[in-house]
Amino acid sequence: MAFFLLFFLGCFGQDTLQPDNRFVYTNNVQVEILGVGALYSINYERTIVNNDRFKTMAQVGVSFWGNKSWKGFVIPVSMNELISFNRHHIEIGASISPNYVWRDDNSKEWDYFMMARVGYRYQNPKKKFVFRAGYTPILLPEVGSWGGISFGYCF
């Protein structure tokens, strides 16, 4: 009788057969061409909320650029929400990209861009590769169309 009871109770303790779509690796580093960092950016991203269907990501990056008469850098900061379908994700988000420029005539200037993001993301929940492609329209200080792609490594 005791054997039957232990066997019967063990049947109720089984996990469901639904796949777990949470990311195993919650940090990643990406190189983005165009996108929120102007011409390019190197970004660090962290998963804040890691559910099966919805994930919230925080990202910060840096980009340096210039020519002979001026130099500058951009620090894009983004919050993105993913709607997950296993390896394929819809990405929606917003970012602000402060930038600082200094010129040979010793003038300096802070400026910023605010951008949105609507895009596609490929990231297998159990693997280390990330690919993103998105439309990143500029919302402030002017309105304009922009976009970018990025490749990354999760850890």
Residues 93-128 have pLDDT tens digits of 999 999 999 999 999 999 999 999 999 999 999 999
Does 7 reside within a domain? no
Does 105 reside within a domain? yes
Does 42 reside within a domain? yes
Does 3 reside within a domain? no
Look up tokens 């690919």; give the residue. 131
Report the CATH number that the domain containing residue 56 is assigned in CATH.
2.40.160.20
144 burial type by CB count under 10 A (0-12 exposed, 13-18 middle, 19+ buried): exposed
Q: Give the count of beta carbons closer than 10 Å to the beta carbon of residue 32.
A: 25
Does 2 reside within a domain? no
d(C-alpha 74, C-alpha 141), whole Å:
15
Quick one: residue 34, left, alpha or beta (phi over 0 = left, psi -120 to 50 = alpha)? left
> Which pLDDT does position 20 carry in this prediction?
87
Q: Which portions of the chain are predicted below pLDDT 70? A: 1-19
> Which pLDDT does position 63 carry in this prediction?
97
> Which pLDDT does position 8 carry in this prediction?
47
CA distances to 49, 53, 83, 154 from 63, rounded to whole Å, are: 27, 32, 28, 20
Does 107 reside within a domain? yes
d(C-alpha 152, C-alpha 59), whole Å:
12
Does 6 reside within a domain? no
> Which pLDDT does position 39 carry in this prediction?
92
Number of domains in the chain: 1
What's the token pair of residue 30?
């990406």
> Which pLDDT does position 11 carry in this prediction?
52
Does 149 reside within a domain? yes
Domain span holding position 24: 20-154
β-pairing verdict for 108-122 and 129-135: antiparallel
